[in-house]
Amino acid sequence: MNPIDIPTFQPRLKVLSREQVLAIHTAALEILEKTGFRMEHPDALKMLADAGCRVSDDNWVRMPGHLAEQALKSAPRQIALHDQKGNKTMPLVDGNPFYGTGSDTTFTHDLETGQRRRTVLQDIANFAKLVDGLENISFAMSMSNPEDVPIENIYVYAFAEIVKNTNKPIVFISDSGKDIAKIHQIACAVVGGEEEFRRKPFILNYSEAISPLRFPENVMEKLIFCAQKSIPICFPSGSNAGGGAPITLAGAMALGIAENLVGLTVHQMFGKGSPFLFGPNVSTLDMKSTVVSYGCPEWALTQAALADMRDELYGLPIWAYSGASDAKVMDAQAGAEAMFSIITSMLSRCNLIHDNGYLEYGGISSLEMVTMVNELVAMSRFFVQGIPVNEETLALEAIHRVGSVPGSMFLTDDHTFDNFTQAQFIPKLLDRSRYDTWEEEGAQDFYKRCNVEAKRILAEHQVEPKSDEILQAIDKIVQGG
Amino acid sequence: MSEFQALSEAVLKGDIKTAVAETQAAMDAGANIQDILDTGLIATMDEVGDRFSKGIIFVPQMLRSAKTMQECMKLITPLFQKGGVTSKGKVLIGTVKGDLHDIGKNLVLMMMEGAGFTITDLGVDVTPEKFAQKTQEIEPDIVAMSALLSTTMPSMPLTIEALQNAGVRDKVKIMIGGAPVTDKYAQEIKADAYASDAGSAVTKAKSLMGIS
């Protein structure tokens, strides 16, 4: 009989005990029952009232906890996001992490000049194409709010541009029930109809309530539309500590979770079993600059805590962020802050991890940053795979061969030849060359190498094109009234 | 300055109880109300603003000082209404139509009050017509608008248009701000100033009013 294999322990970060998880959840329910929230969508308000909520003047709702518990039960544990070819590339479930870009930056760093400038539609195309060409970036977002399209249809233009430049899954923004319907139409056109889309969704909507405890009508329109059409959605609010929420992280989490539970409850009322990605954004408001920080340790900590809450209690896949920075250029601070959130989000097994490639606390999108993140995700993934311990990896035979035969060495041993590509992390852009080589090759720093690589991908990568029929259908929907 | 040393220190510390007591004491002792305001409160808030911009104190400390000043103002304001208050300027403020995010606007509001401006807050989701109507009514020196979302930014030029149509555009200075707003955008829509944060909003407002 063969010996039993030793399972490989894969490093895992935990930040909350079960008692802490339950206390935060209880606090969230108490917020809904005792403080309540403002619901500004008439149909949602009526549904909540009919379900047993107390509604008072000014659309103020107090919600019994059991409604939230019910919604947590009916939402699916897995959200299977597909690519646009129908392959299930992003099974959002348990501890599967997937990294992607962000949205809505006002500025970008020009790839040629390095200057910070306003974003245009072509930038959205570039980011989508870059994502398509990077193996560790799993989904695309717009990254930019382009200044050269009509602002009342900005998100429809952005979405169409992403679709034309990548076949990966897309996380999208919209303004209200009006433009989201158009975006849904485009998505259906891409995969060949609404039924096909329901079976293999490739888009996920990002909508935000307003912390503290306010649910505007246009935001709820989107949520209800997604619930009815089975479009996966996440619904974080801006419960950043000190701004939209209390300064202490536990309270900020409780408030953000309470707001998420309102969204989830209404969502499940309008579309029982529709997919809902759980999780608030709990960053901090910087007490000097009043910016919401994207490089802070607090956000990494609260999303790790949320992963613990998923495992202990909620069971729903979660929304997270990483690979972003408050630095104004892609410097050492940007690298440090990006890696901090990338490795912690992976160690804590967050699921859908967005905002990779942000600088200036979400003000600037950077193609070089996204290219860097691709490498850092690979590095982190290598780390969390742990150290397999078995006969092959213990390598006693190789040790014996090399150790007992004078003049032999591991570098020439078959065991090295057979194993080195799995046993080692092989960087693409992180530089380990000898000094002279590095100097001869232009003495490029990491930023410069990422710049060159981003340019190379944009020049060489071929996105599998969509048919003329689909492209025409998209343009027709975009142009249509 | 030394006359109101204890009041000044209490405002700097954000010690509301002491500051209110010191204000009352100064009033009881017959101090000039305008001096209490200018020397005791506004000059101290200038010092607070200075300490904040140097990074010596943080936002919550600055806001506590501002709140302390407000509490002191409650005592002296009623007396001013008889004698006529001298304010650094009247400001009408709100988030534009379609935008419900008001944390940034509220910060600007508190900092401006602390700096001695008189503020009328229209709240959130303020229509161009409402801005215009209130401008006609209270005749502010500055109209300040904020937007957090790119999609609500077009409400800013619409508001300016409404002020124009109401014939009051040239009687006010217009300031704008908010995450997606830029200096360039302010120039495009012909606003008079753009401020990137609450601190610079005060600086810009002062320079619009021709005070340093």
Over A23-66, what HEC string results? HHHHHHHHHHHHHCEEECCHHHHHHHHHCCCEEEHHHEEECCHH
Give the position of tokens 């072509």: A122
Instruction: Report CB contact under 8 Å: B180, A145.
Output: yes
Contacts of A416 (CB under 8 A, 6+ apart): A398, A410
- Supply the pLDDT for residue B71: 94
Domain ranges of chain A: 73-384+470-479, 391-423
Contacts of A248 (CB under 8 A, 6+ apart): A241
CA angle, corner A102, sides to A96 and A104, nearest 5?
Answer: 155
Residue of B nearest to A40 (CA): B100
Residue A284, phi then psi, degrees to nearest 5: -125, 150
Give me the long-range contacts of B54-62 (CB less than 8 A, separation at least 24).
B55/A288, B58/A287, B58/A288, B59/A285, B59/A287, B59/A288, B59/A290, B59/B107, B60/A242, B60/A247, B60/A287, B61/B14, B62/B111, B62/B114
Q: Which residues of A touch B55 (CB under 8 A)?
A: 288
- Supply the pLDDT for residue B155: 95
The b-or-e profile of A139-175 (16+ CB within 10 A means b, else e) is bbbbbbbbbebebebbbbbbbbbbbbbbbbbbbbbbb
Give the three-class secondary structure for A173: coil
Contacts of A434 (CB under 8 A, 6+ apart): none
User: A359 forms bridges with which residues in the sheet?
Assistant: A364
- State the nearest Cα–Cα gap between A152 and chain B, in angstroms: 7
Q: Does B151 touch chain A (CB under 8 A)?
A: yes
Instruction: Report CB contact under 8 Å: B153, A244.
Output: no
- Supply the pLDDT for residue B1: 47
- Supply the pLDDT for residue B49: 86
Distance between CA A90 and CA A78 in Å, rounded?
Answer: 10
Residue of A nearest to B108 (CA): A290
- State the nearest Cα–Cα gap between A326 and chain B, in angstroms: 14
**Looking at the predicted structure, is the pLDDT value of residue A60 above 50?**
yes
The mean pLDDT of A361-382, rounded to a whole number, is: 98
Of B55, B103, B150, the CB nearest to A104: B150
- Supply the pLDDT for residue B91: 96
Largest pairwise CA distance in chain A: 88
- Torsion angle (degrees, nearest 10) of CA A108, A114, A117, A120: -60
- State the nearest Cα–Cα gap between B143 and chain A, in angstroms: 22
CB A306 within 8 A of CB A339: no
Contacts of B179 (CB under 8 A, 6+ apart): A106, A363, B104, B148
User: A424 forms bridges with which residues in the sheet?
Assistant: none
Residue of A nearest to B99 (CA): A216
Q: Where are the alpha helices (DSSP H) in A65-153?
A: 65-74, 121-133
Instruction: Report CB contact under 8 Å: A106, B180.
Output: yes
**DSSP code per residue over A402-427:** HHHSTT--GGGSHHHHHHHHHHS---
Instruction: Report CB contact under 8 Å: B59, A118.
Output: no
Q: Does B157 touch chain A (CB under 8 A)?
A: no
Structure-block tokens of residue A340? 């901090």
**Edge-to-edge strands, sheet with B142-146:** B118-121, B90-95, B142-146, B173-177, B193-194
DSSP A153: G
Of A154, A216, A287, the CB nearest to B60: A287
Of A151, A155, A210, the CB nearest to B153: A151
- State the nearest Cα–Cα gap between A48 and chain B, in angstroms: 22
pLDDT in tens, B5-21: 999 999 999 999 999 99
Contacts of A201 (CB under 8 A, 6+ apart): A80, A81, A82, A187, A230, A231, A232, A275
The mean pLDDT of A122-142, rounded to a whole number, is: 98
Q: Which residues of B touch A104 (CB under 8 A)?
A: 150, 180
Helix (H) or strand (E) holding B95: strand B90-95
Beta strand pairing status for A60-62 and A214-215?
Answer: unpaired
- State the nearest Cα–Cα gap between B26 and chain A, in angstroms: 33
The mean pLDDT of A324-333, rounded to a whole number, is: 98
CB B125 within 8 A of CB B95: yes
Instruction: Report CB contact under 8 Å: B104, A145.
Output: no
CA B9 to chain CA centroid, Å, is 22
Of A118, A151, A247, the CB nearest to B154: A151
pLDDT in tens, A305-326: 999 999 999 999 999 999 999 9
Helix (H) or strand (E) holding A365: strand A364-365
Please provide the size of chain A in residues.
481
The mean pLDDT of A253-274, rounded to a whole number, is: 98
Instruction: Report CB contact under 8 Å: A151, B179.
Output: no
Structure-block tokens of residue A329? 């250029």
Q: Which residues of B touch A210 (CB under 8 A)?
A: 100-101
Burial of A270 (0-12, 13-18, 19+ CB in 10 A): middle
- Supply the pLDDT for residue B53: 83
Q: Does A472 touch chain B (CB under 8 A)?
A: no
**Looking at the predicted structure, is the pLDDT value of residue A146 above 50?**
yes
pLDDT in tens, B20-42: 999 999 999 999 988 998 899 98
Q: Which residues of B touch A288 (CB under 8 A)?
A: 55, 58-59
Q: Which residues of B touch A154 (CB under 8 A)?
A: 150-151
ω into A212 cis (within 30 of 0): yes
Distance between CA B200 and CA B105 in Å, rounded?
Answer: 13
Structure-block tokens of residue A465? 């094109």
Distance between CA A302 and CA A242 in Å, rounded?
Answer: 14
Beta strand pairing status for A60-62 and A37-39?
Answer: antiparallel
Helix (H) or strand (E) holding A254: helix A249-270
User: Residues of chain A with pLDDT > 90: what percent?
Assistant: 97
Instruction: Report CB contact under 8 Å: A152, B154.
Output: yes
Output the average pLDDT for chain A: 97
Q: Does A179 touch chain B (CB under 8 A)?
A: no
Of A216, A242, A289, the CB nearest to B100: A216
Give the position of tokens 């944009």: A458
Residue A276, phi then psi, degrees to nearest 5: -135, 120
Helix (H) or strand (E) holding B145: strand B142-146
pTM for the model stands at 0.93
Q: Does B60 touch chain A (CB under 8 A)?
A: yes
In one letter, which amino acid is A92?
L
Q: Where are the alpha helices (DSSP H) in A271-366?
A: 297-309, 332-347
- Supply the pLDDT for residue A2: 79
User: What parts of chain B have a pLDDT lower than 50?
Assistant: 1
pLDDT in tens, A398-448: 999 999 999 999 999 999 999 999 999 999 999 999 999 999 999 999 999
Contacts of A462 (CB under 8 A, 6+ apart): none
Of A106, A175, A238, the CB nearest to B151: A175
- State the nearest Cα–Cα gap between A364 and chain B, in angstroms: 11
Instruction: List the CATH code of the domain at A73-384+470-479.
Output: 3.20.20.480
Could you give the ipTM of this predicted complex?
Answer: 0.85
Going by C-alpha positions, the residue among A149, A113, A186 that lies closest to residue A367 is A113
Q: Does A396 touch chain B (CB under 8 A)?
A: no
Instruction: Report CB contact under 8 Å: B150, A288.
Output: no
- Which range has the worst mean pLDDT, A174-178, A327-331, B172-176? A174-178
CB A324 within 8 A of CB A293: no
Q: Does A455 touch chain B (CB under 8 A)?
A: no
CB A121 within 8 A of CB A374: no
CB A371 within 8 A of CB A457: yes
Q: Does A290 touch chain B (CB under 8 A)?
A: yes
Instruction: Report CB contact under 8 Å: B150, A290.
Output: no
Going by C-alpha positions, the residue among A392, A386, A394 that lies closest to residue A8 is A386
- Supply the pLDDT for residue A368: 98
Instruction: Report CB contact under 8 Å: B182, A106.
Output: yes
Q: Does B101 touch chain A (CB under 8 A)?
A: yes
Structural domains of chain B sorted by starting position, each given as residue range(s) with its CATH number in brackets = 2-83 (1.10.1240.10), 90-208 (3.40.50.280)
Instruction: Report CB contact under 8 Å: B101, A290.
Output: no
Going by C-alpha positions, the residue among A481, A403, A476 that lies closest to residue A186 is A476
CB A299 within 8 A of CB A282: yes
Give the three-class secondary structure for A205: strand
Instruction: Report CB contact under 8 Å: A151, B55.
Output: no
- Supply the pLDDT for residue B198: 87
Give the position of tokens 């953000």: A256
Residue of A nearest to B178 (CA): A291
